[in-house]
Structures are given as structure tokens and as C-alpha cells.
Amino acid sequence: MFPEDRVLIGVINRKRDLTAALQEHWYRIPLARFRGVLDYEYLAFYLSGAVRQDGGGIYYYAHIQGIELLRRRDMLPQELAHKRAAELYYRVALGQIGVKSPPILNPGRRAVTFLFTTWDRFCAARAIPDLYLTDARFVQRLPDQQR
């Protein structure tokens, strides 16, 4: 883990997706919504209010072990009738799941989709806006990531 390592933060809105991440060590990202997943070393998880009763926040993270491109139906065979069953998704293989302590909370209730940050910011953050701090103690890698 290096300060300049890149961290992608994805959203988990369903308990089934949280189970896949925590127990099966994978996460899915729609190819149509995000193409830069290969540029990151870590994946962190923003758990929405639908998953956690106490409100949204970033509670877990993992090192990205590998990425493959699959159809949604191949990852979620129990959802073959889903309207996006034939669409392509990245299946991101995850290493050991770490617990972010303290978690990164969202007190301003900012809408979260995909967020990008660096490892040093991720470790120091206590709230979502902290992921974008620009003071001199953090590496200045963020402009490279914005596409």
C-alpha cells in the first residue's frame, strides 16, 4: 500500500451484492457506465442506506486481484430475466476484505456513484469530502484520474 495507489469507490445498494463482495470476493461494474476500472489498485465500497440502516458510508475495501468481462447473466444466474441480463460487466476479483475503521461517512448526504481517490486520502478520510483534500500532505495524483 503506497500513498499514490488509486482507490475506486463503488456503490453497493443490495444486500446480495454486499454478500458477493464480502463472502465471494467479487464486485460487478457495468461496462456501459465505467471503463476505467483497470486503472485502480483498490476497490472500496460505499454502502447505501438500502444496505445499512444507519445511513451510507464506506465500510470496506479490498485490493483488486483481477478483472474479467462477463455478461450479467453469467454472474447472476438467478436473475436471467433481468432487463440487463445480456449486458457486459466487469467482474472484479477481490483480495482479502479490509474494514475501514473508522468508516468514511456521508453526513451531507451527497449522491454517490463512483468516486476516485488516492490511498493516503482514503486512509485519512472520515467523511466523503475528505477524499478530495488537496493540502500538501497528500499526493497530487487526482487530476490524472478525472476523465
Q: What is the pLDDT of residues 63-80, one digit of tens each?
A: 999 999 999 999 998 989
Domain assignment of residue 109, yes or no: yes
Under 8 Å between Cβ of 62 and 92: no
Average pLDDT, the chain: 88
- Domain of 59: which CATH number? 2.30.130
Domain assignment of residue 20, yes or no: yes
The torsion region of residue 55 among left (phi > 0), alpha (psi -120 to 50) and beta comes to left
Domain assignment of residue 1, yes or no: no
Separation CA 95–CA 38 (nearest Å): 15
Starting at the edge strand that comes first in sequence, how are the strands of the sheet with 42-47 ordered? 26-30, 88-105, 57-71, 42-47, 6-12, 115-118
Q: How far, in Å, are 10, 47, 115 from residue 129 at the CA level?
A: 16, 16, 11
Q: Which domain holds residue 119?
A: 6-145
- Mean pLDDT for 11-15 is 93
- Select, from the ranges 1-5, 9-13, 49-53, 107-111, the one with the highest average predicted confidence (pLDDT): 9-13
- Within 13 Å of residue 83, how many CA atoms lie on the same side as its CB? 0
Record the pTM: 0.87
Q: Biggest alpha carbon distance in the chain?
A: 51
Structural domains of the chain, count? 1
The per-residue pLDDT for range 34-45, each reduced to its tens digit, is 777 778 999 999
Domain assignment of residue 49, yes or no: yes
